[in-house]
Amino acid sequence: MERELIAFFVNAAQAFGLPKSYGEIYGLYFASEQPLALDDVIERLQISKGSASQGIRFLKEINALNTVYQPGNRKDYHTAEMSLRRIADGFLRQRITPQLKDGNQRLAHLRKEYTDKELGCIKDKLNNIEAWSKKANLILPVVSKFLGPKKETSIV
């Protein structure tokens, strides 16, 4: 069962253009009944410490992993987040929104640097791109709401 869950999340990660190891790591946490530490991930997936560390860091940034306190242990332990909305919010915030912002800044730079005459036929294409960007910025919060209510997680 663990192997099939990991394979499912590997496919999901690759569909979003993420490294296979991110899917493996999330799948392992998802399948696990107990919180896992970095060493557990390395051992069970047979991946490098760097790959495991980078994957865990990314998954924490997008809210896919929750840190849990283990009394008397200095290691960081994590569990999989089960709220698709929290994960989607984190993914949108960390990956999509910065890319849209960067694109908007580039378009603004073009508009500032060149006159409408210099832009020529590209001006209409810039208008299209700006319209797409505005629509994306409007739809992202709707997508997030559609995915369900935010669930507050607690430290175990």
Does residue 149 register a pLDDT over 80? no
DSSP 75: S
SS3 63: coil
Does residue 37 register a pLDDT over 90? yes
Does residue 146 register a pLDDT over 80? no
Instruction: Calculate mean pLDDT across residues 10-28.
Output: 96
Instruction: Calculate mean pLDDT across residues 3-18.
Output: 95
Task: Work out the mean pLDDT of the chain and round it to a whole number.
Answer: 90
d(CA 28, CA 25): 5
Instruction: Calculate mean pLDDT across residues 18-47.
Output: 97
What CATH architecture applies to the domain 2-80? Orthogonal Bundle (1.10)
DSSP string, 106-137: HHHHHHHHS-HHHHTTHHHHHHHHHHHHHHHH
Are 65 and 29 a contacting pair, CB within 8 Å? yes
Are 71 and 38 a contacting pair, CB within 8 Å? no
With a pLDDT cut of 70, the percent of the chain lying above it is 94
Q: State how far the alpha carbon of 103 is from the alpha carbons of 97, 100, 137, in Å.
A: 10, 5, 12
